[in-house]
Amino acid sequence: MLNRRNFVLTGTAGALSLGFAPRLAFAQAATDKRFVFIIQRGAADGIGTLAPVGDPAFAAQRGVLAEEFAQGTKLDAMFALHPNLKNVAQLFAAKEALFVHAVASPYRDRSHFDAQNVLETGGTSAYQLKDGWLNRLLAVLPDEERKAIAVAATIPMAMRGKIEVTSYAPSVLPDASDDLLARVATLYAGDPQLHALWQQATATRTLTSDLGANGGRNAAATGALAAKLLAAGNGARIAMIETGGWDTHAGQRGRLGNQLNGLDQMIAALKTGLGPLWGKTMVLVATEFGRTVKVNGTQGTDHGTASVAWLLGGAVKGGRVVADWPGLSDAALFEGRDLKPTAGLDAVIGSAVASHFAIDPQRAMPTLFPDQKSARVIDGLVRA
């Protein structure tokens, strides 16, 4: 049984150990490690992603949104993964996926823009810090590893700061007609170099839009593109991928399912494209806040508080769900409506990246999250 008094590692024996063995104060030796941050803009529903099917209140609280989890992958006695996350389920079975549930940043209001700023800057309130935690991470890595790229139209807040980073995205131009696109494709068909570039450009032209578009093929193309940028010998070591479309106020069941299918395909393409480097890669998936526990009148959910964070990759000590589960009964809800946060997203991020890059967490945490004075360090998130 899950216990609110302590973190529980479901899917494996043992409990979380808080604290690290001594490591380098800052990363001093270059490695082949890669790190990818996928942000879910719009507040992704954690309960609709990784459902607490073992919670006695789950079915009654979620109504129609609970039904599809009859086909979901059971990860343990408590949690089931959304049925559209087939590739992620395989990663979990291979112990390359870990989830931290009932997690939230320090932000407790429900503005997308403010919450995303807190998530990306690592502050405790919106617009308090002027640079991003990913940029500050670059500052403590060896010079050879200070290479980062945003797969986005502009450089996201998380990557802005003193260290120079780059971005890659197709130009945002008015949509061309299908006939024009077909004619250009025919024109380039006889040129191997231009044809390949054209295919890549058309496949990634909507990479920051809804992941469900085009049956998830655009999302898969984005994952393949990010892998190519990371796998190059002199390429980036850190990448950030922006995704949108997670604001599911109405018709959530179909919309969220399409989104998760796209994200699942993106992650699969990322793994395939990285090849052997996947074993040295960590992927973090996180959103600015969660959604309400109860379904609204339009079969959607409204802005909430806690959600779920994902850690994926060959470097992750996976096959587990980390949860100090608060419960879904009315009495257990935060402000009578939301999943109550029992873990800090800052602690998850800081602990994960510090361990991944062999940085002393006691120095890394104040660098990445300077105003979080009491963030606990979570050990055991990466492979030894």
pLDDT tens figures, 233-248: 888 999 999 999 999 9
Residue ranges covered by each domain of the chain: 8-169+204-368
Taking residues 286-304, report their average pLDDT: 97
CB-based contacts of 356: which residues, under 8 Å, 6+ apart?
33, 35, 282, 315, 382
| Better-scored residue on pLDDT, 208 or 230 | 230
Of the listed ranges 26-30, 68-72, 132-136, the least confidently predicted one is: 26-30
| pLDDT value, residue 200 | 52
| pLDDT value, residue 207 | 38
| Better-scored residue on pLDDT, 252 or 209 | 252
Q: DSSP string of 347-375?
A: HHHHHHHHHHTT--HHHHHHHHSTT-TTP
Q: Phi first, then psi: what are they for 63, rounded to 5°? A: 55, -125
Is 13 exposed, middle or buried (CB count within 10 Å of its CB: 0-12, 13-18, 19+)? exposed
Question: Pairing mode, if any, of strands 343-344 and 97-104?
Answer: parallel
With contact defined as beta carbons under 8 Å apart, do 377 and 351 qualify?
A: yes
Taking residues 142-146, report their average pLDDT: 88
pLDDT tens figures, 102-120: 999 999 999 999 999 999 9
pLDDT tens figures, 316-329: 999 999 999 999 99
The domain 8-169+204-368 is placed in CATH, from the list 1.10.3470, 3.40.720, 3.40.50, 2.40.128, at 3.40.720
Maximum average pLDDT range among 19-23, 212-216, 362-366: 362-366
Under the banding of pLDDT at 50, 70 and 90, the label for residue 213 is confident
Angle between helices 252-274 and 86-93 (to 10 degrees): 50
Tell me the residue type at 77: A
| pLDDT value, residue 191 | 76
